[in-house]
Amino acid sequence: MTAPALSVTGLHKSFGANAVLRGIDLQAQDGEVISLIGASGSGNSTFLRCIPMLEVPDSGRVAVGEQVIEPQNGILSRRDKVTARTIRSELGFVFQSFNLWPHRTVLEKVIEAPIHLQGRPPRPAVRRADKRAGP
């Protein structure tokens, strides 16, 4: 069996005295689709933000492919910070505020990161975005 595309083990996150994530575990294989279902305020968004370290968990382990991050007491080591940047450059995110940048088209929003963060030329970024859109 191949290593999971995503592995989260023992993820904990608190905001002051409010423990939001209490030992969350998840594994996902490449191409697998997973849904998180829960009431508003139950930690779904916090969990998703912890995967690329947009929100640093208090403890636990996150592995995206071979890239592993293990924060200690809510602090990332220098190596973990570099790894987090690598993970963020390889993942895509859709935030709850879907209308962010209302002055841009969907295509412009999709090609923003490849062009400005990854330094890809605009034409290949547009072709790739169009290709992934499907029929």
Per-residue pLDDT at 113:
82
Lowest mean pLDDT among 20-29, 57-66, 91-100, 120-129: 91-100
Burial of 67 per CB tally in 10 Å (0-12, 13-18, 19+) = middle
Tens digit of pLDDT for each residue in 72-127? 999 999 999 999 999 988 887 766 666 677 888 888 888 888 888 888 999 999 99
Give pTM, 2 decimals: 0.74
Same domain, 72 and 116: no
Question: Do the domain assignments include residue 57?
Answer: yes
pLDDT at 99: 65
Q: Percent of the chain having pLDDT more than 70? A: 91
* pLDDT beyond 90 at 130: no
Domain identity same for 83 and 102: no
Q: Is residue 83 domain-shared with residue 100, that is, in the same domain?
A: no
Question: Residue 135's pLDDT band (boundaries 50, 70, 90)?
Answer: low
**Mean pLDDT, the chain, as a whole number?**
89
* 84 within domain boundaries: yes
Residue 1 is assigned to a structural domain of this protein: no
Say yes or no: 78 and 126 in one domain.
no
81 & 21 share domain: yes
DSSP codes joined into one string, 32-74: --------TTSSHHHHHHHTTTSS--SEEEEEETTEEE--BTT
Query: Are 27 and 56 part of one and the same domain?
Result: yes
Range of the structural domain that residue 122 is part of: 94-135
Query: Does 26 fall in a domain?
Result: yes
Q: If you average pLDDT over residues 50-54, what whole number do you get?
A: 93
Same domain, 103 and 66: no
Domain match, 14 and 53 both = yes
Domain count, the chain: 2
Across the range 4-28, mean pLDDT stands at 96
CATH classification at residue 12: 3.40.50.300
Residue 57 is predicted with a pLDDT of: 97
